[in-house]
């Protein structure tokens, strides 16, 4: 089973839709990559970026990346796939922070 067949099976998509989904991920990643340098140049006129700015960037990039993922998903006609993808992602992310309760015996 090659990588395309594994993605088809995992996501339940046709080969064409798998290509579109991968294209959406690629466009989103490149957009985030291309936004970082001009944004930092605008905010900091220094050659070296402060460590705190990098930390803030990585914390804030998560919601920005997810919005861009939905945006590109809509452009390429895969909005519902990415909407479900986002819901699963955030459910898993927030389940980390939930307190686990032990049932009393």
Kindly state the tokens that stand for 2.
């090659």
Domain for residue 88, yes or no? no
Domain coverage including residue 52: 18-83
Whether 69 maps to a domain, the answer reads yes
| 82 — pLDDT class (breaks 50, 70, 90) | very high
Q: Residue for token digits 């998903």? A: 73
Chain center to CA of 27? 11
The whole model's pTM is what? Answer: 0.79
Evaluate whether residue 75 is within a structural domain: yes
Whether residue 60 lies inside any domain: the answer is yes
At 79 the pLDDT is: 96
Longest dimension (CA), the chain: 62
Determine, yes or no, domain membership for 101.
no
Is 10 within the bounds of a domain?
no
Tokens of 58: 């990585």
In a domain, 31, yes or no: yes
Q: Is 2 part of any domain? A: no
With the C-alpha atoms ordered 72, 78, 83, 84, is the resulting torsion angle positive or negative?
negative
How many domains are contained in the chain?
1
pLDDT band at residue 105, thresholds of 50, 70 and 90? low
């Amino acid at each position: 089973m090659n990588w395309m067949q594994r993605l088809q099976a995992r996501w339940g998509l046709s080969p064409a839709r798998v290509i579109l989904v991968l294209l959406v991920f690629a466009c989103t990643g490149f957009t985030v990559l291309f936004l970082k340098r001009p944004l930092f140049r605008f905010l900091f006129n220094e050659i070296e970026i402060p460590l705190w700015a990098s930390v803030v960037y990585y914390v804030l990039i998560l919601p920005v990346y997810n919005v861009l993922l939905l945006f590109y998903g809509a452009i390429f006609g895969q909005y519902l796939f990415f909407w479900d993808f986002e819901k699963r992602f955030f459910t898993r992310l927030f389940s980390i922070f939930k307190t686990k309760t032990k049932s009393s015996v």
